[in-house]
């Protein structure tokens, strides 16, 4: 199994988000969206207000890799922040919520990673999302659907656990 070398623990992501929160609201929301959805950069920069279903608590990723589409759950707090952001900037329904270029997203991620002493790139957040979902008990098939992978064998790379994960699982067993 291939090892994912670049993922962050939840606490590390929280540090990055806190750094962005104190500097720039758009950057914070962008990073939070990436962390909470596992979306690729190309997907994030194409999300429009009409893709966000507040009532159902999902985001439609319409321009996904390979031309596929998928629906990804999103927490109510982030949905509310997105809604407020869209309203404040009066973003039209069919325009990107984050109208920036791919390289700008890379720069934003690098900037806040550097501020917190972590060398990351945007896909690190995707890897972190997936590994934390698996560690949180989400079954691999559901993670596959959220990530938009065509095959479960692609997703199984996220079946990586550290010593604490193994210890926690071990302690739950009644011998």
Per the structure block, which two tokens stand in for 116? Answer: 């917190």
Which residues lie closer than 8 Å to 3 by C-beta, 6 or more apart? 157, 160
Which of 28, 6, 10, 13 lies closest to 113 in space, CA to CA?
13
Q: Which of 32, 126, 127, 135 is catalytic?
A: 126
Known catalytic membership, residue 149: yes
Which residues lie closer than 8 Å to 101 by C-beta, 6 or more apart? 45
Q: Which of 7, 85, 112, 158 is catalytic?
A: 158
CA-CA distance, 130 to 134, in Å (whole number)? 6
Q: Which of 21, 63, 71, 123 is catalytic?
A: 123
Ranges of H-type helices in 45-155: 76-89, 102-115, 122-135, 140-147, 152-155
Known catalytic membership, residue 126: yes
Q: Which of 21, 65, 104, 111 is catalytic?
A: 65
Q: Which of 40, 70, 127, 135 is catalytic?
A: 40
CA-CA distance, 82 to 86, in Å (whole number)? 6
How does strand 58-61 pair with strand 52-53? antiparallel
Catalytic residue list = 40, 65, 123, 126, 149, 158
């Amino acid at each position: 199994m291939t090892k994912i070398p670049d993922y962050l623990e939840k606490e590390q992501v929280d540090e990055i988000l806190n750094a962005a929160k104190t500097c720039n609201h758009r950057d914070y929301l962008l990073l939070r969206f990436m962390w909470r959805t596992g979306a690729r950069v190309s997907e994030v920069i194409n999300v429009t207000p009409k893709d966000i279903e507040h009532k159902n608590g999902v985001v439609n990723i319409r321009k996904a890799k390979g031309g596929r589409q998928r629906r990804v759950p999103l927490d109510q707090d982030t949905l509310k922040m997105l809604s407020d952001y869209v309203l404040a900037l009066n973003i039209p329904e069919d325009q990107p919520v984050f109208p920036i270029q791919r390289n700008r997203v890379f720069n934003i991620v690098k900037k806040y990673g550097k501020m917190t002493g972590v060398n990351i790139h945007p896909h690190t957040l995707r890897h972190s999302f997936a590994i934390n979902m698996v560690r949180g008990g989400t079954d691999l098939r559901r993670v596959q659907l959220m990530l938009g992978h065509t095959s479960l064998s692609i997703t199984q790379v996220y079946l990586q656990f550290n010593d604490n994960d193994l210890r926690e699982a071990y302690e739950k067993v009644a011998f």
